[in-house]
Amino acid sequence: MLHEIINKLLTKIGEFLSKIKTKVISIITRFYCLFIGVKLGKKTIFYGIIKFKRASNSIINIGDNVRFRSSETSNLIGINHKCIIATHLPKANLKIGNNCGFSGTVIGCFNEITIGNDLKCGANTLITDSDWHLNDARSSPPKPIKIGNNVWIGYGAIIMKGVTIGDNVLIGAGSVVTKDIPANVIAGGNPCKVIKQL
């Protein structure tokens, strides 16, 4: 009985401290974003320390009420690394809509990535419009990515360059999306294909 009470008390204290930590990190990160020219909407929350990198003359524009989970246990599905949100070339344009959530997500933007509203982006996901090694003859140039509204990207999925994902799509865990996915479907696999119409 006493054991249970102590356990509950410690949990409450832990939750309280973690709320304060999140508030402090969110305030500091907001100032940092102002300093490096990342545009943040209202009520963005940072659970743990995120990594931002903005190339000169590029745009990072984040909407209202977006949550970035970067600490390992801020999502109990398990986060392997912090969120890394970056533009890598001048004129790169990264836009994230309102009410989106990211857990240990890496977004690497060399050209253009546009994300709509209400994206649920599962733990350890990667969204990149480039092959990264730009001078390697085996790679092809960066191509824009467009993700619609109300999309859910499952754990560990990878969204590759040139892909458009329609509204109300669920991308299954561990998928590698290399081609466009139409609206209102569940899709999965490597390469990612439509599994079900919604």
Residue numbers at the binding site for ligand COA (CB under 6 A): 77, 120, 122-123, 154-155, 170, 172-175, 186, 188-189, 195
Closest chain position to ligand COA (CB): 172
181, two tokens: 């996915």
Residues catalogued as catalytic: 133
Q: How far is the CB of 103 from ligand COA (least distance, A)?
A: 7
Nearer to ligand COA, 2 or 76 (CB): 76
Q: How far is the CB of 190 from ligand COA (least distance, A)?
A: 8
Distances (CA, A) of 23 to 20, 99, 151: 5, 18, 27
Nearer to ligand COA, 142 or 188 (CB): 188
Nearer to ligand COA, 120 or 143 (CB): 120
User: φ and ψ at 103, to 5 degrees?
Assistant: -125, 110
Name residues whose C-beta falls within 8 Å of residue 172's C-beta, 6 or more positions apart in sequence: 154, 157, 186, 187, 188, 189, 192, 195
**Which residue do the tokens 């989970």 mark?**
69
Q: How far is the CB of 73 from ligand COA (least distance, A)?
A: 15
Cβ atoms 170, 154 nearer than 8 A: yes
